[in-house]
Chain A
Amino acid sequence: MPFDVPARVLRHEALNPEHFLITLEAPRLARAARPGQFVMLQVREGHDPLLRRPMSICRVPPGGRTVQILYKVVGEGTRYLSHQPAGARLKMLGPLGNGFALPERAPRQTARRVGTRRPILVAGGIGVAVFPFLAETLQRLGRRPLLLFGARAHRDLAGLQLFRARRIPLRLATEDGSAGARGFVTRLLEPLLREKPRNGGVELYVCGPTPMMRAVGGLAVDAGVPCQLALESQMPCGIGVCLGCVVRCAPQVGEPVYRRVCTEGPIFPAAEVAW
């Protein structure tokens, strides 16, 4: 059940000139949130910009009264948002969308994790924003997530401290080689998919720019590895009525269909998305 609340900004940190982490007070919304869900967030009062912005729920900090959102300034809307001071109130609607399908709690050590897949989180650029909440939840389920994070340059690898604080192992790649391996994130992923599966093998959770998700989704489907994509779209309403955010899907049976990223998604099995 989503809530539409005037959420108070408690903290608003610039992680670097382009990336921000905003903490908003919204207890009911925070309690209802699951990893992979999102909110529609007002960036400022008035009618310009007109629409709220869809934002991944990055974290629900301990205490469960707040949500954190990690975002990058990419246009006018996010620039206005970045100017909102602590104490401001912003309308926030959520949690929205289906969220990731989560694995069951891992069996205890004695069962030696037979048959459980290791979660690999594959992030491209600001797509990383959806993963801190997921990684922490997977840890609570007894899993050991690994983050593969690709971006254009070192400065685009935002939010690393959110993973390091939880001792989540991470491997980095940048297109210009300014941090980690030089190249795309697929360079980090391909060797892992080629490895002989130990125990239950791996499963992928992916969020990033469309070309990156298309590439990673393709690799996963070819390797027969379960893969969930967190899609992004132009999304005026977020609640399934404007039909603006659709993505073309090819279900296993029947004709290709357009599915709403906001309600049937934003998480889709890679095998279903037909871009």
Chain B
Amino acid sequence: MKRRAAPPRSIARRADAPVDLAVDVGPLRLRNPVLAASGTFGYGTEFLPYLKLADLGGFVTKGLSPRPRRGNAPPRTCETAAGMLNAIGLANVGVDAFLEEKLPALRDCGTVVIANVFGETRDEYVQVARRLNGAAGLHGIELNLSCPNTEKGGIAFGVSPPLIEEVVGAVRRAAPDLPLIVKLTPNITDIAVAARAAKVAGADILSLVNTFLGMAVDLKGRRPVLDNVVGGLSGPAIKPLALYMVHRVHREIDLPIIGMGGIASAVDALEFMVAGSSAVQVGTVNFFDPTASTRMVGDMEAWCRTQGVRRVRDLTGTLRLPAGMPGGRSAP
């Protein structure tokens, strides 16, 4: 074997030091900051041919409702510039099948399992949360607030601060034992307002952002591409938008953040941490590169080692802002 020339001593010492990738996110302790995002990772077992779940910080299940849902008619997805639109329609097996069939299979998966929860009414959120509270092998719940409220004319819960307070408070009471993550929609004028409402109502952690509303047009047919007309935009295209929102919420609200939106590499993930995230979720990348999430963990460690960062958690919120601009500009 060939020996490489020894690096200078100072670098060598840094390069040998182990990097601590563990992060504390409110009440959750994660082995590393990388979680797989809801709706992109099935119920976890789908990825067993490609990676070890234990190599992830954790993952979030497909959103669960009180009863199974078939979802929307196809076409449900459309590729866009560096991104994609989806309107799956929250298809899922329902909370009972999750507890009976999916969760037991994850008992020894060796990572943090978080159940994503949604409902069309406050009571549906509460029903699901109550069923999940105390379930063996479940480490937390994440509320999807992007769902339309059928009792209030279809307005998404997450765009109305009073509705956010109502549903987050009700779920907090229904599942007092589980760490509660509230996933914010970006489809609101000021996401900090939504973040504050979630905090007031008892959220432990914020995750942001969900997909941006968008659409695509079939010009020849003069029709929307998606059967649902409107879909959620995800992928690298939304990264700068999401990064800004993480920055804004981090400056305004004192709650740990799980950042997401277009993360496809360790560098992307670390940028989100510097902007204020304690951990990250990776979503769309799981579709086009199924081993990206766990490779990202290794790349993150390598980056920290070369930069002399001994604990990845030390990066959270270390963005250096221009002097005299403590919160950054509120508008460009």
Contact = CB atoms under 8 A, between A and B. Distances in A.
Whether A and B are associated in the same complex: the answer reads: yes
A153 interface: no
A222 B288 CA distance: 40
A91 interface: yes
B321 interface: no
Interface residues of B, number: 34
B76 A246 contact: yes
Contact of B236 (A2, A4, A47, A248): A47
B245 interface: no
Nearest to B70: A258
The majority secondary structure among interface residues of chain A is loop
Interface string B83-97: 110101001000000
Contacts of B75: 234
Given A50-B235, A234-B74, A234-B77, A244 B82 contact: no
Interface string A225-251: 000000001101101111111111000
Contacts of A165: none
Interface string B274-290: 00000000001011111
B42 A50 contact: no
B70 A257 contact: yes
Contact of B84 (A236, A239, A240): A236
Given A2-B49, A48-B82, A93-B290, A233 B74 contact: yes
B78 interface: yes
Given A234-B77, A237-B287, A242-B77, A47 B235 contact: yes
Nearest to A258: B70
Contacts of B264: 47
Interface in A185-238: 233-234, 236-237
A253 interface: no
Nearest to B42: A241
A239 B77 contact: no
A244 B86 contact: yes
Contacts of B236: 47, 50
Nearest to B239: A47
Nearest to A3: B49
A51 interface: yes
A243 B79 contact: no
Q: Which of A1, A239, A247, A257 has the most CB of B within 10 A?
A: A239
A248 B71 CA distance: 11
Nearest to A260: B91
Contact of A241 (B41, B76, B83, B235): B41
A85 interface: no
A50 B79 contact: yes
A49 interface: yes
Contacts of A52: 288
Contact of B287 (A4, A48, A241, A247): A241
Contacts of B187: none
A239 B235 contact: no
Q: Which of A50, A91, A234, A246: most chain B CB closer than 10 A?
A: A50
Interface of A: 1-2, 4, 40, 42, 47-52, 91, 93, 233-234, 236-237, 239-248, 257-258
Question: Considering the complex of A and B, which 5 residue pairs feature the smallest CB-CB distances, nearest first?
Answer: A244-B77, A237-B287, A241-B42, A47-B82, A236-B287
8 contacts: A4-B290, A42-B288, A50-B288, A237-B287, A241-B40, A242-B77, A242-B88, A245-B77
Interface of B: 39-42, 46-47, 49-50, 70-71, 73-79, 81-84, 86, 88, 91, 235-236, 264, 284, 286-291
Given A93-B290, A234-B78, A248-B74, 16 more contacts: A42-B288, A47-B236, A50-B79, A50-B236, A50-B284, A234-B79, A236-B77, A237-B40, A241-B46, A242-B40, A243-B71, A244-B74, A244-B88, A245-B76, A245-B77, A257-B70
